[in-house]
Amino acid sequence: MAESRSALVVDDERDIRELLVMTLGRMGLRCDTASSLADARNQLQRNRYDLCLTDMRLPDGSGIDLIAEISQKHPETPVAMITAFGNVEAAVEALKAGAFDFVAKPVDLAVLRDLVRHALEIDHSRRGSPDVVASRLHGQSPAMASLRQTIAKVARSQAPVYIAGESGVGKELTARTIHAEGGRAAGPFIPVNCGAIPTELMESEFFGHKKGSFTGAHADKPGLFQAADGGTLFLDEVAELPLAMQVKLLRAIQEKSIRAVGANAEAIVDVRILSATHKDLGALVAEGRFRQDLYYRINVIELRVPPLRERREDLPGLSRMILERLAGDQGRTVPHLGEDALAALQDYPFPGNVRELENILERALAMAEGDTLDAADLQLPRLPPPAAASPPAGGDPRTLDPRDTSTSALPSYIEEIERAAIQHALQENRYNKTRTAAALGITFRALRYKLKKLGID
């Protein structure tokens, strides 16, 4: 027989308590209730709960304090806060204090049921332990160990996470790991490259459209939000979103509902938002190129994935792991990395980070004759010293952007030009790859390879 699950419902209004208890009861949860902070503390001392729902304003204090206490003393109990409608500040504050999610008043029961389902799916014994995370994100450095710990923690939450880091550091891998280790693992993970969607199609791509809503809309089409329902939407290169789209996205995130183009009603969607960019989003906000309110909303938790040159201890292990994978794919014996090769890697600045390391090793593997790779096989490009060595005036250690030409990171710069040319050609040819390849004067295979390499969807 399945063990019965239990919840603690904290609200000073009796009607709301009853509504919540009834809804949770129908989902098979046994409920205790509390009408004040003191009451809730009391219950928490005596019982263990699989879920706690708390109101924000309680007669003897704030629900935020309760959230902070529970995440300290009972980290195994996910807690969600009920907030006043439209009170984004409170919702963000709750998530920062350790709430795994929030629900706005008046409580929409469909939204509440999704929330409960995700809370119960978090398997605290196995998921989200730094060990499990390590099987995906490799690296022995203290920086990576601490990143893995943070990932294990944020995986349990439903809070939006913003992942910052240079090109190729592992931002998408981080996002996938957060998804895979959390309560939404059974749902879809939908990555979107925000820079690759033509502006005029954006609203319909994100929210879907109804048949006949514009010329070319021959049938109803679900959008990315519907595709990610029950799972995670990963907004990659989020800095590329046009301002008009930022407004619509903000609404969708705040209200947990969307309206398809041409639809006359909103529909509830249950999506966790993760986002990333290699750009300095804070600086874009200061320049007025990214909306402050959206930034505030998607950046509730910020993770920074450190560049490879800040964790050189990871190089030997990471290289071995990559070589094992590459050699395994090709059915070859795993080559050994010579001492001079390792030393050369240790000196190289890696503007393209782990992806660049993968490319270097792949090329070396193709060229190498024996079972040892030496420094010459690596063919490391000669780069001027990285800009990180001379921080910009003012001492602000801004993230180095290897795509910025001023850092002379030539390979990344070329990648950027390629990316822009390909994206432009894709748009011109309405995403038909055969025609795009022809327009660019390359083969279909070469285009497919480049799309994959540049991470263009």
Ligand X SMILES: Nc1ncnc2c1ncn2[C@@H]1O[C@H](COP(=O)(O)OP(=O)(O)OP(=O)(O)O)[C@@H](O)[C@H]1O
Q: Which residues bind ligand X (CB under 6 A)?
A: 137-139, 165, 167-173, 278, 354-355, 358, 455
The residue sitting closest to ligand X, measured at its beta carbon, is 170
Q: Which is nearer to ligand X, 172 or 181 (CB)?
A: 172
132 binding partner (options ligand X, Mg ion, none; Cβ < 5 to 8 Å by kind): none
- Would you give the distance in Å from CA 82 to the centre of its chain? 24
- Position 55 contacts Mg ion (CB under 5 A): no
The structure tokens listed for 291 are: 């909306």
Q: Which is nearer to Mg ion, 258 or 322 (CB)?
A: 322
Quote the strand ranges of 229-313, DSSP E.
232-236, 257-258, 267-268, 272-277, 301-304
CB 362 within 8 A of CB 375: no
* Angstrom distance (rounded) from CA 28 to CA 135: 34
* Angstrom distance (rounded) from CA 285 to CA 290: 5
- Position 237 contacts Mg ion (CB under 5 A): no
- Position 172 contacts Mg ion (CB under 5 A): yes
Q: Give the interface segment with Mg ion, choosing from 109-117, 125-133, 171-179, 212-220 (CB under 5 A).
A: 171-179
The tokens 């006359």 sit on which residue? 264
CB atoms within 10 A of CB 171: 25
Rounded to the nearest whole angstrom, what is the least distance from the CB of residue 51 to ligand X in the complex? 32
Rounded to the nearest whole angstrom, what is the least distance from the CB of residue 183 to ligand X in the complex? 22
* Angstrom distance (rounded) from CA 345 to CA 360: 10
Q: Which is nearer to ligand X, 276 or 294 (CB)?
A: 276
355 binding partner (options ligand X, Mg ion, none; Cβ < 5 to 8 Å by kind): ligand X
| Interface mask toward Mg ion for 126-165; x: CB under 5 A | ----------------------------------------
How far lies 122's CA from each of 108, 158, 177, 416, in Å?
22, 11, 14, 39
Rounded to the nearest whole angstrom, what is the least distance from the CB of residue 257 to ligand X in the complex? 29
Kindly state the number of chain residues that form the binding site for Mg ion, as judged by CB under 5 A. Answer: 1
Rounded to the nearest whole angstrom, what is the least distance from the CB of residue 417 to ligand X in the complex? 15
The tokens 């509504």 sit on which residue? 19
- Position 416 contacts Mg ion (CB under 5 A): no
358 binding partner (options ligand X, Mg ion, none; Cβ < 5 to 8 Å by kind): ligand X
The structure tokens listed for 383 are: 């780069």
Q: Which is nearer to ligand X, 94 or 185 (CB)?
A: 185
Specify the pairing of strand 232-236 against strand 272-277: parallel
Contacts of 130 (CB under 8 A, 6+ apart): 145, 148, 149, 151, 152
**Residue ranges binding Mg ion (CB under 5 A):** 172
